[in-house]
Structure 1
Amino acid sequence: MFHIKQLELVHWDYWRRFSLPLDAQIITIVGPNGSGKTTLLDALRTLFGLRCSGKRDFRRYVRRANRSFAWIRAVVANKPGSTGKRPFFPCLKDEVTLACRIRRAGGDWTRDYAIADGDVPIEVLEANENKVVEWVGYRDYQSRLAWGGLTPAIAKVLALEQGDTDKLCEYSPKALLELVFDVFGDKEVLDNYAAAREEQSNAEKELEALGLDLDRLRAQAEAKRLEADRFLEWKQLNDEATALAGEIVPRLEAAELLRDIEQARADIARGRLDFQKGDEELAGHKARTAEVEAEKAAAEAERKAARSRELAAEKAHLSAHDEVRDFEKLLAERSALRARLAREAGDGAVDLEAAYAKADARLLALQRQERAAIAAFEEKTNQLRATREHRGPPPDGEVSRFRKRLGDAGIAHQALSEIIEVTDPDWQGAVEAVLRPYRNVILLEREQDRHAAWALGEQERFRHFIVPELEAAPPAVDGSLAEVIRFADAVPRWLADLLNRIQRVEDADSARHLPRETEWITRDGYHRERRGARHLGKPTEFHFGELARSARLKQLDADMHSLDARLRELRPELDAAKEEADALRARLHGIEAAQLLAARAEAFEQAEAALPDAKARLTAAIADRAESKGDVDKIDQRLRGIDIELDRRKREISALARKAQELAENEAPRRREQARRIQRLRQLRRGMPADWREPQQTALLVDKYGDARGARADLERLRQRLSDGDWITDDTVLTLAGRLKADLQQRERDYAEREAYFATTRRLTSDARAAYIAKLRITIRQYGKNLRALGDLANVDVDCPVPMLENEDRALASAGLEVRFDFDRKGAVGLNDGEASGGQQVMKSLILLIALLMDEARPGGFVFIDEPFAHLDIANIDRVGTFLRATRAQYLITTPVTHNANVFAPAQLTLVTRKKKPGDDWAPPIGLIQRSV
């Protein structure tokens, strides 16, 4: 940046006119309080387009001079920098004149600025012959100075309040970071970030407002749609009731009368023939009845004789049976006693009892196992039979109950699993895993049944979807999961979209070539969707298609074979256990068998000898009884036939008699009723259109309503419904509903566009924030580098770590710049931690201030510092002076006359200000002391 070489003031405050050379590195402005030190600096600030100190401005100073104009002119350096460019190009001389002309205009003060090539006096600027300069306004002048190195950020530093320049170390880390970025940061980056954040905020508010408006409009559209549905329902019911009353009921009544007339005419003719036939049949039945009664008397006599023979044979059979039974019982007792006698030489009774208890327990356990295996086998058999007879998924109790209720209500439906067939067995597991949540989805065959079905679902708390909206499945997408599925009927659109959206892949690695947003699934059921990828779990029981049914049949068959094998293993063990238990029980009761055998030996021998003859007699008695019983049964059967025929004949005779009587009694009323029908039909047909008599149209009405009574019942039901219901009868509701629907669709499209725009603003805000953070890091590094370089000059270790900066507004808002100083190796101190002395505070502030103005691309520049030596001892004054001399900037330093003389040691040029004496119009000119080289 440029430095100041000369300053000239005209009518500034109480100074009339003077010119000062300022071509020195360190310039000290000394004078008592109120002598004009700050006034001089404010003149430079006004010339450079900066804000004056405190609450002052340029108008305060020019009003004191009591003149209509004032001038501030400075000559500044315009030498090429390291890049070869001059600060005030296209000015090509080494010096440039900066001028500020202040004039009174219309009661207010205005200022104009000019930049002239070379050292141009005020008089030449005022005359401006040959257009030497071009006067510009304040904003254009600031932009031109910014090109020369006096950027708005540096201007902000130069405009720091009196006393603030030595208090930078008291800034908070956040405030210091903001100041550093204002100086070093790219204003465009910050503006872009602020604009993007503001745009995102506006877009978010607008999207929220659109969302609320969309919800309101959606509610209105839904309400109007419901009203339109009520109107259409009312119109349909009203039209149907009108048609029933005016056309359908009369047509059906006429058709019924015509049918009844034809039927009655045929009935009358048939009645005459029936009466004649009845008389003939009655005579024939009476003759045959007499013959059957004679046959019955003969059969009853024959049965009586056969019954006597049967009773004698039964008595002989009972006697022979009792004899054989008694003989066999004696022989069985002998066998038992012999077996007991053979076992009497066994172990003691106690051991025998223990062995019997153990054997009996084992027998009971085996019997329980057998019963359980048999029950399981029967259950599996029933399941296998049901699976073979019924196609579809395995039954579910809750679903079966609900479907029964739907069937009782007359709601035609089917399950989703009943219409899906998996064509590729290798993908059966993946299909089952994806469709697991939809196994029990209920599909309604008629969409108009949806409200009734939903009401039942609400009552039953049915946890599965009930879907009324169905359509034919679209063609399957190549490579999708839908390609291995065949639908037997219409399906929900969302299901077809789901299956078409999922691509089939062999494994997760083979999905690399698919687009990023593609959903896919492997044979093993590993599924990737928008939320991520996971394993869906391969079901152990299949529900969809014939493959699932085959798998269940195979599993049930395997279970039955396993149970049958278990039964075959149990039964030999059960027989052995039973035999062992019987044997042990016999041993417990057979100790006295020898005495019993000896006492009844004679009876046993007699029974053994007589048993063969008794068995022969029993066999003969059984044959005689069977023969006699057969004869009785034959006669009984014949008698039953005779009774049946006789009863039938009597009933037929009675029926024919009643029929003849009814025909005779009904003949006259039937003819009168027929005449009434014909008269009624003629009345109905009078004035009836010809097309109402077409049989085909009438047949359609009959199929729909049944008869006139059914039509009248429907008419009454419709009228009751129309009178009881809260209907919409104004057809304008259809127009309003359509208009609201169109508005809603347009508003939804607008909302989608604003959503996309909001997403774009968020992305742009994130990008702008990232650029802002990147620029902020570079700025902090550059400032830290400047601080360390100045610290080396001042023999102070300075540490300026880069703070943690995250791409998030809250983190950026709380970020701060922590700078630590180490004086004389006594330990690092912070910005304002109270551990540094007054001189160290000044040193810290100067380092922080000068580092803000260092620019490698534009070295040099100038700095205004108000009273940096206040409250410093001699050593610290020397230390600050040494530091200032070591830097390359131009310093304009104010100091009161009360300070130690050491404050003048670093200055090459000292300006001495003096107060205006009372009574004088103008203040004394500024004194000048220049150090000789």
Structure 2
Amino acid sequence: MFQIRELEMIHWDFWRAIKVPLDAQIVTIVGPNGSGKTTLLDALRTLLALKCSGRRDYKRYVRNNRENNAWLRGVVSNPRRQGGGLFPYLFFPATSEVVTLFCRIKKQGGDWVRQYAIAEGDVTLDAQTELTVQWLGVNEYKRRLEQAGLTPAIAEVLALEQGDTDKLCEYSPKALLELVFQVFGDKQVLDHYAEAKLRLKEAEGELGKMEQQLSQLGLDVERLKLRGNNYLEWQGLQRDIETLEQHAIPALKYVEQWESLRGYINQFRGARKSLRQKQDELDALDAHYRHSEAAQAIAVTHEEAARIENDAAYTVFQSARDAARDSEKTMKEAERLRQLAAAENGADGVALADQLALKREQANQLKQTIRVQKDERQQLADMKFALDQGRAPHPDFVNRMRAALDEAGIRHQLLTEIVEVRDNTWQDAVEALLAPYRHIILLDKPQDRQRAFELGQQLKYRHFIVPDREKVGRANGNSILEIVDFKADAPAWLVSLLNRTQRAKSVADGQHLDGEWITRDGFHKERRGARDISARPGEYAFGEAARVSRLQESARRLRDLNEQLLKDEALLVELERDASALQQSLMGMQAVVQLAARQDEFAAVAERWPEEQRRAQEAGAAVAAAQASWDEARKIREDGRVQFEKLKDRRDRLNAHVNDELNQLSRQRDEQSRRIRDLRNAKAGMPPEMRSSASLRAYKDKYGGLSEARHMIERERERLAQADWETDQTVLLRRDKLGEDYHALERDTQLHRNEVERTAQLTDEARAAYINKLKATVRTYGRNLKRLGELSGIDVETDLPQLENDDTVLAQAGLTVRFNFDQKGMMGLNDGEASGGQQVMKSLIMLISLMMDDANPSGFVFIDEPFAHLDIFNIDRVGGFLKATQAQYLITTPLTHNTNVYGPSDLTLTTRKKQAGEIWAPAIAQTRRRAKAAV
């Protein structure tokens, strides 16, 4: 095998670019723990496509430097083979003394990928290398290395875990034998033989099943023969019945089908007449619907015109009111100045200051009231707009919850969206009964319950989230459910509540009812007692009546709020004006001077104020009339819309009924056509002599009807029912087919039996022959142990295991090795009699013996810390043993050992730890033994 001369690493672990020589028989790698000794050996393992030590792999090392690529380059020897042959050199066709091995590792597709190359001669690593060499995959590269002497056995040894190389002496005889077989490739062959044995047992099991199946099939053949004879006997009796079935039954069946067709045709005509009546009703309803739709459009137009007229009248009113209000303010200002002028001579400054403070406090309180009223007015305006659009506004916590459900893609409805009250006189009772449930959320899919519940918990939603819904069943008489329509499925418990709650005209009427009841105004009696649960009209939430009620309530409240705001704003202006006058008085301004200066202004205002007041009153009356007209138009439009929706719903239901009857009539027409075709086909299938009316009447007169003819057949069959008969007409075919299958299975079973016996014989003979190969492997390993023991001055004896062609013997076989140190007597592998140094010598001899190959006497070995726990004498002894062999050794040792560990070393590499704050580790120091001068 080849030996390693040089190693170059770029971006390997924390080494940026480093080149180390390895051209010595024994290379010692020394350094403190964590300085990179094992990292250097793993670089060589990766270069040779071997597994790294421990749980490491090559990706761990190339990730540490955070570069996108890494290179490994090694120069190895290329000696000529002793036997020559087709491949005279290890790396043929390369014939130079050395060859260069490359390993390129780069990041590709988010993962690290490695490629290999082999170049003739000592090729340096530069920019052209990647383009000039031929890159190989991992498997092809391993094949080339195996051709050069790096056999799978050697690869197994080189890839041993760190620390296992000095623990081979701790193996049991059985484990040692398994290791020898695994390294020399025999373990895989034995596994293949075991698998072949398993397959043979499976084949024997299949053979047993085939024999069992053959026995069962023989019984089935005999049973079918008996059934076939029974069928032949039954067939003769059956012909008598077939004569009656083939003539009388078809004729009578045709007569009955014809009579049934006549009745079906009459039924079809009645259905068609009913359909025409409903279509006429639908046409009339459709005309009424279109007229109502046009009237609704006109009502919307009138409402819009009334609103515009109201807005215009309100604009005129505002202008007249503002002019009159300004004149009134000016007159009040004149009166205020006269009062100030009259009281100014004896006014007290402290009293004026108190009045000013009082006025300002009143003004601030009034501002706060106005701000609250404006916020309420905005909320009412938003509610009124939503109600005008046909949408019911909801509280903020409901809107937040629905927004969260929409964002999560959970389809849902509110209970208020699916409930409609048919009888408006009971609106108060329905609202009172359902008031606690107005914010219930109904899920469209029960599968969304977990996510919906999580959102409810997150937002602290205090109302029910209901995942389970059912179709609403039939309502009990006089129940609340009887006057309520559900547009979709609803919770069963809610439907049950409405269905068990009865309607009572009064409390006295309720005393005659059993169970729960409620009056129109919301007085409710249940199992716990009775109480008033009525709801205010402004809080109605269910159905169209609730929307109209809330719309009217919001419009009334908005009108009252606007009037109150006008009054409060006027009062605020007056308070601010009084406060300003008091402030001016306190600052020394004279009211008499102001009154004299503005005397002309006050006189002109007093002259025109009555006319302005009259115009404001007239404009106010016009606004009130326009508002009443607008309210009336809106009420007409709402009433028309309710009627229009009911008409639309009625029209849609009638249209659905018409479509259903059209589909049903189409199916009836198809059924009628099918029956006519069946009659024609039946008549065509009858013999010519049976098709005439006279023949059919004759069958009718003779047998009376189809049922009578069938009764005659049944009576004939009862005669056959007194015994067991085979009626399957395929029994004869199955009898013949099963006989053929039996003979075929008999032939296949015999062939399979012959194959199983032959396979068992061949497998047993093949493994018996391979036992000689196993014995040869053990003998070879024993010779290697003895030869290496002689080099180190240690006697080695090997007890060859008992290897026979038997599963139990092979499973229990073990390899026993004994060593004699210093002529003190033989000792076993791990019997506790050997010292620490002797244990190391045992392990080294066993390790090197695994790699010895007569065809390739040279080679290299990785040994991790062979001098651990050795004294000076044993260190020298191990060193002498290593120098006496022909292999190249790359060994590691910590800095704490005796200097004798460097005795056998021709080249020493010293690794150093990466300093804190540095990116790259320092270079590896090299110490080469000085060559002895020639004597």
TM range (shorter): 0.3 to 0.5
TM-score, normalization by structure 2 = 0.46
Q: How does the TM-score come out when normalised to structure 1?
A: 0.46
- Higher Cα radius of gyration: 1
